Amino acid sequence: MASVLHPTEKPEPSQPAPGDEFDDSTRATIEQVAEEKRRARAEPGASWRDWLYFQAFKWWIVIAYLVIDSWIAAEWVTLGNYIGLALSLVAAVYAEFLLFQYLWYRPDPDAPRLRRGEFRPSWARPVEVGRWTPEATLARRGIPWDAEADAVDPKEFL
């Protein structure tokens, strides 16, 4: 028969059963996992917006390019005009290249801004840094994006 405690009574603390205690390696693993969780909560990483612009849209725009180029090719093949096909595809691929550069061009981190010199737009590089890149986000916030060049290079650890 189970005993019912009065509201003022406190239950007796139960003793852990044998085998419930953790050995040192298990306790160290649990503490390591807890520390990793704490660090993950403190620095959650990129936002969904950043992930979408910096990574996901790159793949979708390439798929869109393939659809557009296929549509152009199908139209010209249907008409039987292969010179128009070649010219249209060259123009479309160049426009797609410029759009990709405008959105996602990232300068070489191994070449500091001083070595690259003053930026001048060209047919291959219409912008100094792509609009949807981490460097552009830093520039919009007023943080010099070349400051990362002074950071630790991950290639040093390979």
Alpha carbons 93 and 91: distance in angstroms, whole number: 6
Q: Which of 78, 74, 56, 54 is nearest to 66 (CA)?
A: 74
Alpha carbons 123 and 117: distance in angstroms, whole number: 17
pLDDT at 76: 96
* 16 pLDDT more than 60: no
- Amino acid identity at 45: G
Q: Give me the residue spans of the domains in the chain.
A: 50-152
Give the global pTM.
Answer: 0.60
* 33 pLDDT more than 80: yes
Question: What average pLDDT does the segment 8-33 reach?
Answer: 69
Q: Which residues lie closer than 8 Å to 112 by C-beta, 6 or more apart?
A: 146, 149
